[in-house]
Amino acid sequence: MEISNPVLPLQGSADKSIPALGFGTATFPFVSIETTKEAILHAIELGYKHFDSATIYQTEQPLGQAISEAISLGFIKSREELFITSKLWCCDAHHDLVLPSIQNSIKNLNLEYIDLYLIHWPMALKPGMYSGFDKEQDFLPMDFKSVWEAMEEYQKLGLVKSIGVSNFSCKKLQTLLATAKILPAVNQVEMNPIWQQKKLREFCKEKGIIVAAYSPLGAKGSFWGTNRVMENEVIKEIADAKGKTIAQVCLRWLFEQGVSFIVKSFNKERMKENLGIFDWKLSPDELKKIDQIPQQRGYLALEFTGNGAPFKTPQELWDDEIEKIFKI
């Protein structure tokens, strides 16, 4: 049975859209290629259409393998049924390195094109620094204009269907938009009921940029994650009253905010549960209760700030979208 997964229109073309619900492939610590491939293959069988990857996740190769197997097994008829996202890592965030990075991702995925390609962070590293970087020596300011020009060029050539950014604040988006000829289709950022990104969402809405939420459940278990989403009493009460899981309430809330969202679980039962959010609604009273939850950013990205880094403090990295970070 085909499971519903509504889509959101992407700017730039009437026939471009992004599935509301995406399947995350990032695992920290890393797991085996086979484990990742099998999880993705099962997700395709269940009905997931959007798969979120990145150079730094090291999941492009197993994602490509899973797509090939899914076609062979008859889970999907062709690659065109899926929406694939990947991302430009910081050490490739230089004008002349964008094309090699895209080509490498396409090769890893064994595809002819990528549906959505994002600048992963608003900063650059020295070329080749995929791991083990020293934040006091290896970071560089990003030339937004030249990097985005390269992204635009390779969208026009059809290597990527849409381009966007990740972890960009309103201020950094404004800098990019000042010279962009093609507007970002998506800004992928942390968003969940305890970090609702109201200001950023409003800014993106005005510009026609889709917000895609990562860590929609708080990324519990990861090095940047928090238990505060899954243990929130307001969400627990709503879930109990509706006979839903806490995760389902969080994902349904995101859907009702008009954003796309990336949820990662390799647990087969939770993978199925996370799809069951499109045939029911939250009441106005429930939405109001969630709206009033005290806000606290989960991921400060401290590894990207400090002496020698482009941003000395988290406040500089996240700009005016960090003001509620210490509010408990």
| Active site annotation includes 57 | yes
The pair of three-digit structure tokens given for residue 90, joined into one six-digit string: 């910081």
The pair of three-digit structure tokens given for residue 70, joined into one six-digit string: 């899914």
Q: Which of 48, 57, 154, 214 is catalytic?
A: 57
Give yes or no for a contact between 119 and 173, defined as CB atoms under 8 angstroms apart: no
Give yes or no for a contact between 165 and 122, defined as CB atoms under 8 angstroms apart: yes
Strands (E), the chain: 7-9, 17-19, 21-24, 50-52, 83-88, 114-119, 124-125, 139-140, 160-166, 186-190, 210-214, 260-263
The pair of three-digit structure tokens given for residue 108, joined into one six-digit string: 């890893």
Cα(37)–Cα(24) distance, rounded to whole angstroms? Answer: 12
Give yes or no for a contact between 33 and 60, defined as CB atoms under 8 angstroms apart: no
Active site residues: 57
